[in-house]
Amino acid sequence: MKIAAVSPALRVADPAYNAQKIAEIVLAQAAKGTELLVFPELSLSGYTCGDLFFQKTLLDGCLSALKTVARSTEGKKILVFVGLPLSVRGKLYNCAAAVANGEVKGFVPKTYLPNYGEFYEARYFTPAPEEEFFVEWGGDLRVVSRDFTVRERRTGAIVACEICEDLWAPVSPSARHCANGATVVVNLSASDETVGKREYRHKLLAAQSGKNVCAYVYCDAGESESTSDMVFAGNSMVYENGVCLAESEPFSGAVCETEADVGFLLAERRRMNVFVPTYGKNWSADADFCTEGDLALRAVDPLPFVPREEGARKERAARILDIQAHAFARRIAHTGAKTAVIGVSGGLDSTLALLAACRAFDLLGKPRADILALSMPGFGTTLKTKNNATALVQALGVSSRQVNISQTVLRHFKDIGHDPADADATYENAQARYRTMVLMDLANETGGLVVGTGDLSELSLGWCTYNGDHMSMYAVNCSVPKTLVKYLVLAEAERLGGRAEIVLKSVLGTEISPELLPPDAEGNIAQKTEDLVGPYELNDFYLYHTIRRGDDPAKTLYLAERAFAEKYDRATLKKWLVNFYKRFFSQQFKRNCVPDGVKVGSVSLSPRADWRMPSDASAALWLEEAEKL
């Protein structure tokens, strides 16, 4: 949903002038494709009218001005919220009017009226009553209710409204609206600018949008209000589920605009059971204001698991390594394990697992010599990865041992009658399973635990050998996606410095491969994982949008086209999207029996907690939609 919040340059107590300015903005925003447009509290009159609010001339002028705004929406796909004082049965209400398709759909009166500092609204206005009432408008009746919402006809999105102080109250009307299905809340506000207030608004809006799982559009009065006792800055903001999507700088007069992902909000709510509807209290009007326009204002992050800013990436890396280390330290302490046994290949995943194990032993005050790192070269091991593994264990001060598995696996092939010239799944998996047997037996021999190295991306694709590298005694990387692994290793490299940093950066420069097939003629890695299962940046993008955002195949591909516009064409994106769904569904049997492992982020595929799915579920619906795109 394309959203804009605008603080117009108005004249206090001049409704006709204000309506004209607002109508001009409506036409301009409608031409840009804006679907939801919000103006500040009492924007038709101005918030700072004082005792002029008692004047019938001003009140009648606001009603006439509202007609001007309504006319500006005729034939436009846009929903507009504008503020005005409304006199009904001898009482005055501070209201927001919802306007669409040339009509006033209804009014929302303010529930909580401030009476402190420079704010004396209780002098003029009456709080919203619990019961709704009606006013005549254009020959029909329009509801005036704090429970009024607008429902978009095509999408079913529900937009609710509260006014300024309502947000600051202990129990805001928006909480009730969201419980009843509203996914977008607009707030018409007039909040003066004082030192520290902007920062507090950010915290308040983050919390309100987060706990109510909604998009929250906050539109603040601008600097053209009276400055007799205070100043207004037009500091508008749009939040989505706790995240600030856009804001206008104070005193800038800028339009605050963005796009809210209502589909994500609905998907997030389906995962929760804290929303208890009170269906009988809704007053709703339908409107047609959503379009089929493309994303224009909101960038799509190609690496959703990785923070964009370097400082945030380093902070995230430090936090994740702490989580991994403390979780594994707790498991070591609980089991009384004497050692940690880990297969170190010279690749990224085993390197990260080893770094986490070192941190865990440091936390426990145990010598790193009790970490036993095994190098197990086989048919596909290259000199570079073998050297990286050797240098790494030396730099980190852990114990090491080498077990060459080639001859034992060849004997195994002879036992089962497999031709070693046939480099099929048996050829590959026999190596992975034998390595796991070595690790398990050595853990028994030394009274230790086998540390799992597999990551979240591999689990999602089933890119692991069942009962081979699929199995361990504790999986420290199981919820770390591949696109994030390298940033964790890089952060630890920079923290450690010296020889360790040099070795870790060499690991970072190595291609991703299980090294189960022989190297090429030059001794380089021949089996490249991303050639077989697709680029990990795409798989992680698809995983995030499928599991975390609840997006369907069409939306996922649409977003991928925008995120990777400069790198992949549509055919390539579709190819790997179809492959992702095929692998994700067919490989669930591996995820249904994974070892314990720590969750570090918002996506986890543990069958005991975050992702429960039958191994024989059909992928037909997803594949049918994806293949037709």
Q: Report whether 356 contacts 368 (CB < 8 A).
A: no
Q: Which of 62, 95, 164, 290 is catalytic?
A: 164
SS3 state at 428: helix
**219/257 Cα distance (integer angstroms):** 11
**446/464 Cα distance (integer angstroms):** 26
Q: What's the token pair of residue 102?
A: 């040339």
DSSP string across 154-216: TT--EEEEEETHHHHSSS-HHHHHHHTT--EEEEEE-----TTHHHHHHHHHHHHHHHTTSEE
Q: Which residues have CB under 8 Å from 565's CB, separation 6+?
A: none
For 120, 257, 321, 486, the CA distances from 162, given in Å and listed in that order, are: 18, 19, 42, 45
Q: Which of 2, 21, 41, 152 is catalytic?
A: 41
What are the residues facing 58 on neighbouring strands? none
CA angle at residue 611 from 550 to 157, to 5 degrees?
25
DSSP state of 597: B
CA dihedral in degrees (321, 325, 331, 335; nearest 10)?
150
Q: Which of 2, 21, 105, 110 is catalytic?
A: 110
Q: What's the token pair of residue 276?
A: 């208890």
Q: Which residues have CB under 8 Å from 398's CB, separation 6+?
A: 354, 357, 358, 368, 369, 371, 372, 373
Give the phi and the psi of residue 105 in degrees, each rounded to 5. Answer: -85, -30
2-5 and 36-38 beta bridge pairing: parallel
CA angle at residue 73 from 69 to 76, to 5 degrees?
165
**611/598 Cα distance (integer angstroms):** 14
- 164 in catalytic set: yes
- 590 in catalytic set: no
Q: What's the token pair of residue 57?
A: 């001339």
- 41 in catalytic set: yes
Active site residues: 41, 110, 164
